[in-house]
Amino acid sequence: MLKMVFFRDESLQAAGPPLRPVGTPSSSDESSKTLAPGAPWRPEATRSTSPRRCLPRDPIWGGRREAAAPQVRGRRRHRPTGSGRLTGCGRAAAPPCPAMDYAGLAEAAAVKIGLYRRDPGGWRGCRSTSEVVVSWRPSAEFSGNVYRAEGTVPACPEDVWECIKPVAGGLRTKWDQNVKDFEVVETVSDAVSVCRTTTPSAFMRIISPREFVDVVLMKQYEDGTMLSAATNVEHPQCPPQPNFVRGFNYPCGCFCIPLPGEPDKTQLLSFFQTDLGGYLPQTVVDSFFPASIAGFYSNLTKAVKALKA
């Protein structure tokens, strides 16, 4: 018998003093205060005593599922590329996002995943299939993990790149089950753009739809290797949207590497480093990513075969 376990986040608790019986004066009641003679009267801010907000009821499972808003984390995370304060639960809204050096951030992300590629230490295997080997290690960017995936795709690098390149109207939305929509918000240069990606609900709808705003760099090296690197940014045309939880990609990307002597095969080396946000238990996140990455490689293999047909 399948037993579903649902989680509730204590960060949803409304900030405020304990409830008291009706008619009992509190320390903030005007009637319970005595002013000194001649002292000016100043109104004091009172905190909300509204009861705890409940999570929406899932129409399929009948239990409580993850709420899409407000977006408040239960744990602290490091965001080197962002600014502003959290919203929701009575907290102040973030100020307008400042001008960002999108080209510089994209290049820094490419350098970072280049370091991941050359650093073999500390990776621990978590999933292996006939198409990909997935490993992980703790991230230095946020309180989560960075995942490394390596596999050989039975197609030339140009065909693999055609399927995965992050461009408007590309093939990614047609074969990748984790990408619902992809749009270019701003073209910074021929190689750099700011993009918004949305994803559907996943993991038996425990993970609600996400949106990501990233700066993306596309680059080709002298040996024929093609790179797509990305990291999260803020953009004035991309405020958080209703019905989506804002997630954050830290330096991540894919290397399409030609294999000498095997023109019809490509080594695809990928790094995934995503903070999904919301109120997801860590056990859900740790289970989701290895399976999702394996599905990415499996679906990509099918896509390149269909492209060649």
Domains and CATH numbers, the chain: 103-308 (3.30.530.20)
pLDDT at 38 over 60: no
What residues pair up with 137 in beta bridges, in sequence order?
Answer: 146
DSSP track, 206-249: TB--EEEEEEEEEEE-TTS-EEEEEEE---TT-PPPTT-EE-EE
pLDDT class for 232, splitting at 50, 70, 90?
very high
Q: What is the pLDDT of residues 234-243, one digit of tens each?
A: 999 999 999 9
82 SS3 class: coil
Cα gap 115→125, rounded to integer Å? 19
Span of 64-78, 148-162, 246-260, 274-288 with lowest mean pLDDT: 64-78
Report pLDDT for 96. 55
> Residue 189: is its pLDDT beyond 60?
yes
Give percent helix, percent strand, percent coil of the chain, each to the nearest 5: 20, 25, 55
List, for residues 106-162, the tens digit of each pLDDT value.
999 999 999 999 998 899 999 999 999 999 999 999 999 999 999 999 999 999 999
Whole-number Cα distances in Å, 294 to 88, 183, 250, 271: 35, 25, 20, 13
Higher model confidence: residue 175 or residue 88?
175
**Averaged confidence pLDDT in the chain:** 79
pTM above 0.95, yes or no: no
Mean pLDDT confidence for 187-202: 96
Picking from 272, 40, 73, 259, the residue whose alpha carbon sits closest to that of residue 82 is: 73
Per DSSP, the three-state class of 114 is helix
Q: How far is CA 82 from CA 94, 127, 235, in A?
A: 10, 32, 10
Of 209, 208, 207, 181, give the one whose Cα is nearest residue 195.
181
- Helices 157-164, 282-308: axis angle to 10 degrees equals 130
Poorest-pLDDT segment among 28-42, 44-58, 101-115: 44-58
Would you state the pLDDT for residue 252?
Answer: 98
**Which pLDDT score, from 0 to 100, does residue 62 have?**
39
Task: Kindly list the distances between the CA atom of residue 260 and the CA atoms of 117, 137, 255, 307, in Å, as whole numbers in the listed order.
Answer: 19, 30, 15, 22
Using one digit for the tens of pLDDT, what is the confidence trace for 16-28? 444 444 444 444 4
List Cβ neighbours of 125 (8 Å cut-off, separation of 6 or more): 133, 134, 135
- pLDDT, average across residues 211-228: 97
Element holding 292 (H helix, E strand):
helix 282-308
